[in-house]
Structure 1
Amino acid sequence: MKPKIWTAALAGLLCLSGPAASLAQDSGPLVQKVTAATPQPKLIVMIAVDQFSADLFAEYRSHFTGGLARLASGVVFPSGYQAHGATETCPGHSTILTGNHPAHTGIVGNNFFDLSAAREDKRLYCAEDETVPGTSSKDYAPSAKHLLVPTLGDLMKDRDPKAQVVSVSGKDRSAIMMGGHKADELMWLAPTGLTSYRGSSLSPVAQQASAAIAAAIAAPEPGLTLPADCAAHDIAIPLDGRKGGIVGTGRFARDGADFRAFRASPQADGAVLAAAAALRQARKMGEGGSTDLLIVGLSATDYIGHGTGTEGAEMCLQMLALDRELGDFFARLDATGIDYVVALTADHGGHDLPERNRQNGWPDAQRLDPALDPEKIGKAVAEKLGLPEPLLYGDGGDYYLSRALTPAQRKTALDEILPRLRAHPQIEAVVTADQLAVHPISKRPADTWTLMDKLRASYNPARSGDFIIALKPRVTPIPEPGIGYVATHGSVWDYDRRVPMLFWRKGLAGFEQPNAVMTVDILPTLAALIGLPLDTKNIDGRCLDLLSGPEDSCRSGH
């Protein structure tokens, strides 16, 4: 039995007009081949699938029959790169619609530290406003204030205030980093359905969508039947340090009102797509005089990858469901007759849990040594050298030395810490902020970047650590697996950096370009399609020509 098409079910609750058209149906007027003279599209749909690696796209590509199959018939860049080193959710989303690496977006990680902050919690969440009274990195006031550059939507609004920009996602950081500073509506999934910035109210249609999603969350689900395509993935894996094997989530069976299980299921993506379809319809996006931007962040693949890995039966079910959900969503857009263009990519890749990697031909896959915890290292060094505590802060690859140290104490601490880390068998390299500050951001193709190039693209002098560590390949930075968190991403290696980049428009001749491109190229590519001028000195990406043959979408001015 195939997974339910949740978009269709929720669309009915949201009173969307009419059923979705068949994907095989050529709905709307005939559109001739897209050329340089073709009018600008009326709607841009930007889709980010969290943790949708190039490896997953390649593995399941032959199984796609719905929306992902449609996109794979368009312009395909199978070797897109989130080129930077800190391959986390917030930095990755910050590159997609800004044209800039995290070095310039300022989003160096999901969290970073501001040791001068007045509050006790020095860790800042990438999408919080730490000036709001009572906020913390765990209980925060969502905000785009840390995003230092404009997004495509911001630039579209600057050119034409009537242009509509709507961003809806499974995660706040996805919605915010792609939606930018000026979105008309911006929202994400929550236990209550949908939510937005503190103090802001949802529009009536968003409220209706939120109520329908809340009802879906409240209802229990019996789980999905495993199709034949996924049977080979149904193998229990014994986990390091945990009794029993991993068999996933029971095919997404869950009790009612279990939001954590809901968001880690295909239902979550269906809910976001249904809300996006409802908002587009209510606002008549793509039907006015301006080009509009609809941003969709799909997060279930990431939660499933973290909870059960990338090669289990649950991920197989998710890939098939995602394909069908997107197909239903596109069919609804087709039925409107709107001329729309779609771009799809991911914020980062990912790799499987080390226990399954060891079973599947990679015996050196490991979990992180708990001794590499920054707090433990800082405590040991402070006690040895008689330095004040806390000495060291860290989250991910960035490590920060206490600002209470004198210059002499700082040097003494670094002289002790850096050799200790560099000698650890799980660490590939340790690079200081001083080294990164003088290293230029690479202009070479992303598949040729050195480790220093990758780390430099993530380095922002105001926010990055005093030094940054890079782990060796297939070292999973989770010391002990827990419920819902057995695998992750964040490394400098290509399994975390490579993502597909897909473009589709009715009448656009498809082709495949296997050479390396980057997610920072998406902004200038889409801007060219709508004739939006850019100051190329302020972006890291370049326009990608989407027209097969001698014509060039980057120079057409269309």
Structure 2
Amino acid sequence: MRLAPFALASLASVFSLTLAVPATAQERQAKDSRSAQVAPVAPAAAVPAGKPQLILAISVDQLSADLFAQYRQHFTGGLARLTSGAVFPQGFQSHAATETCPGHSTLLTGAHPARTGIIANNWYDPKLGRIVYCSEDERDPASSARKPVVSSWHLKVPTLGDLMKKANPAALNVAVAGKDRGAVMMSGHHADAAYWWGGDGFASYKERPISPAARAQNQATRKLIEGGAPALSAPQWCERVARAVPIKNFTIGTERFALQPGDFKTFGRTPRVDTATGELAVRLVDEMNLGRDANTDVLSVSFSATDYVGHAYGNQGVEMCIQLAQLDASVGKLMDALDKRGIDYVAVLSADHGAIDAPERLQLQGYENAQRIDPALTAEALSAAISHDTGITASGQLLHGAGSSGDIWLAPGLKPKQQKTVVEALLKRLAAHPQVEAAYSAEMLAKLPLPTGNPQDWTVLQRVRASFDPERSGQVLMMTRRGVVPGDPQPGYTATHGSPWDYDRRVPILFWRKGVAGFEQPNPVKTVDIAPTLAALIGLEQPEGTWDGQCLDIDGTQADTCRR
């Protein structure tokens, strides 16, 4: 490991405002005429020579393309800079399993969940008779789904960082995230360092020591939490969405994120956890000397607060507005820090999934079909109903999963004929429910090829196939109708994601590198295109079949970054 003395430089921003006296109409016309005659054509931006020293791969958990477009005009920090690069506003997490773990697994592997093996945040393991967490090593007796021993062993394919290290062991692969699954799925199997917010500080893999940089960040973060902090100010443009919306016996829409002294739990669900994540990323750049030699390194940073805020308050209130302003600043500070250190880096930003707002607020806005899921579609209720329909029972619960779009697993121990009977009865019952768009058997999905082509035009069946792994997926996959939101709303949980619909699938994909000409590209692209795009940029050749995606030319001139 390349180490350097720790130093975290303070970042300063300089703003200037120029006032001009308005010209008369005649003066403007004359000026425009002169400009049209003599104004030179601006030279195209020069494509940087050689490979970048660092890949900065940013994921913003739950940043939908719709949310990005809604607030794009207000960004002034890092998100604004990224919009000056190659902008693909029609990016797709093209699969149906629009959850954190599957989405993160696509970003730097170039593979759909059907190949990464990460079909959901959790899945039922019939051998263990319990739910398994996506970044858990259940082989360790100390591990459980709620308190997992964190591991990358469920990930079936290598990440970009893994491939870079295989080609050149001197390349460094580093990740920091608000969630363990964000760090694990972006860095993969061979991370030189991986940290995530663990509830009372940044944690890492079992038995891996916490480095001085992480200890310093934990000390600074704990000091902040123990002292508490006042409410965050809302930019003026956020005030229009600062309205209380009733949900059961509580409201959303007015939270400003005041932090009570010692409230570690709340801290992890506020914009401040993103600030700490970005700060630790900078500390790791210095500690590990990232981007300082001829070897291209990769730094993955997953900001999680947008997801926590979206779940707790929905995405159309003042809470999300404040969050995105804070995120814009956090990304800006991270990029400014890399600039100050003179590092030539390419940045990419995308998201693991989008989300839908709380249905109670959507209904106020005229979206009549937005609704909470019927409790009859939970695993408990379906188990009782299918046992009634078929007379088949299990020693435990008959069905596992359900309650939202996704997998339904049968209890272990059923005979093949019983399994067939249960699947047929379940498909029949789901097909008759008004909140269910479609339901498919694993047997049917296993016969289909992985979809190709434009992800915007994929059928629901194709989206589900891109998430299907015969080793881990359920015997039935249920997709709820558009606007159906799973879960019983509670304070801290009012909205979510996980459907096959575009509000969950569409995410922005932004690339930026100093000197590369920017552009806006409306063609729908996929998150699995990110890894092959970055691999081409650093000259990392891989055999055919490595990627489910394709390289994107991210320079807006005659130069082609896919052919260097």
The correspondence for 1:358, drawn from 363, 379, 382, is 363
Partner of 2:201: 193
Residue 23 of structure 1 and its aligned partner are, at CA, apart by 8.2
> Which of 167, 173, 178 in structure 2 is aligned with 1:165?
173
Q: Matched residues in 1 for 2:170 and 2:307: separation?
A: 34
Which of 20, 25, 33 in structure 1 is aligned with 2:45?
Answer: 33
Q: 2:88 aligns with which of 51, 58, 77?
A: 77
For 1:380, the equivalent position in structure 2 comes to: 385
Which residue does 2:22 correspond to in 1? none
Q: Distance in 2 between matches of 1:23 and 1:292?
A: 32
| Other structure's SS at 2:316 match | coil
1:19 has 2:11 as partner:
yes
- The match for 1:287 is 292
Q: Which amino acid in the other structure matches residue 453 of structure 1? A: Q
Scaled by the length of structure 2, what TM-score is found? 0.91
Matches within 5 A, 1:524-543: 524-543=532-551
Q: State the one-letter code of the partner of 1:70.
A: R
The Cα shift of 1:323 comes to: 1.0
CA distance in 2, matches of 1:399, 1:205: 43
Which residue number in structure 1 is paired with residue 23 of structure 2? none
Q: Equivalents in 2 of 1:384, 1:467: separation in Å?
A: 17
**For 2:72 and 2:476, how far apart are their aligned partners in 1?**
39
Amino acid at match of 2:517: A
268, 274, 278: which is aligned to 2:273? 268
User: What are the ranges of 5 or more consecutive residues in structure 2 without an aligned counterpart?
Assistant: 1-5, 17-42
Q: In structure 1, what is the Cα distance between the partners aligned to 2:420 and 2:199? A: 48
Q: How far apart are residue 438 of structure 1 and its match?
A: 1.2
Choose which of 430, 444, 466 in structure 2 pairs with 1:435: 444
User: Which residue among 397, 420, 432 is the counterpart of 2:429?
Assistant: 420
Aligned equivalent of 2:400? 393
Provide the rounded CA distance (Å) in 1 between the counterparts of 2:250 and 2:55: 47
Match of 1:130 in 2: 138
User: Quick check: 1:243 aligned with 2:252?
Assistant: no
Mapped contact 1:230–1:316 kept (Cα < 8 A) = yes
Shifted more, 219-228 versus 379-388: the winner is 379-388
Match of 2:113 in 1: 102
Higher gyration radius (CA)? 2
**Code of the aligned partner of 1:19:** L
Counterpart CA distance in 2 for 1:74 and 1:104 is: 30
Spell out, residue by residue over 1:324-378, the C-alpha distance to the aligned partner (whole angstroms, 9 max, x if none).
Answer: 1211221111111111110000000111000111111211110001110112211
- The reply on whether 1:44 has 2:52 as its aligned counterpart is no
Unaligned segments of structure 1, at least 5 residues: 1-13, 25-30
**Could you give the per-residue CA deviations for residues 13-37 of structure 1, whole angstroms, max 9, x where no partner exists?**
x85134346588xxxxxx99343x7
Is the 2:389–2:425 contact (alpha carbons within 8 Å) kept by the matching residues of 1? no
Quote the offset at 1:165 in angstroms: 1.1
- Which aligned segments of 4 or more residues in structure 1 are displaced greater than 6 angstroms? none
Separation (CA, whole Å) in 1 of partners of 2:140 and 2:508: 38
Q: Alignment length, in residue pairs? A: 529
> Does 2:84 align with 1:90?
no
C-alpha distance in 2 between matches for 1:185 and 1:22: 33
What CA distance in whole angstroms lies between the structure 2 residues aligned with 1:414 and 1:335?
Answer: 59
Contact 2:517 2:557 in 1 (8 A): no
Which residue of structure 1 lines up, in the alignment, with residue 465 of structure 2? 456
Once the two structures are superposed, residues 143-200 of structure 1 have per-residue CA deviations (whole angstroms, 9 ceiling, x without a partner) of: 0000000001001111111111110000000000001010100010122211011222
State the match for 2:65 in structure 1: 54
Structure 1 vs Structure 2 CA RMSD: 1.7
Residue 545 of structure 2: SS of its match in structure 1?
A: helix
Distance 1:512 1:317 in 2: 26
- Indicate the residue corresponding to 2:226 in structure 1: 218
Name the residue aligned to 2:37: none
Indicate if the aligned counterparts of 2:238 and 2:321 stay in contact, CA closer than 8 A.
Answer: yes
For residue 491 of structure 2, the aligned residue among 483, 487, 490 is 483
SS at match of 1:536: coil
Residues 21 and 234 of structure 1, relative CA distance in 2, 3 Å threshold: closer
Task: Say if 1:21 and 1:332, in contact at 8 Å, map to a contact too.
Answer: no
Q: What SS does the corresponding residue of 2:319 show, helix, strand or coil?
A: helix
- Partner AA of 2:469 in structure 1: N
Letter paired with 1:218: E
Distance 2:292 2:142 in 1: 43
Q: Deviations over 1:424-480 (max 9, x none)?
A: 0000000111111111111111001011110000000000000100000010011x2
2:337 is aligned with 1:345: no
User: Cα gap change, 1:82/1:51 in structure 2, threshold over 3 Å: closer, same or farther?
Assistant: same
2:374 maps to which residue? Answer: 369
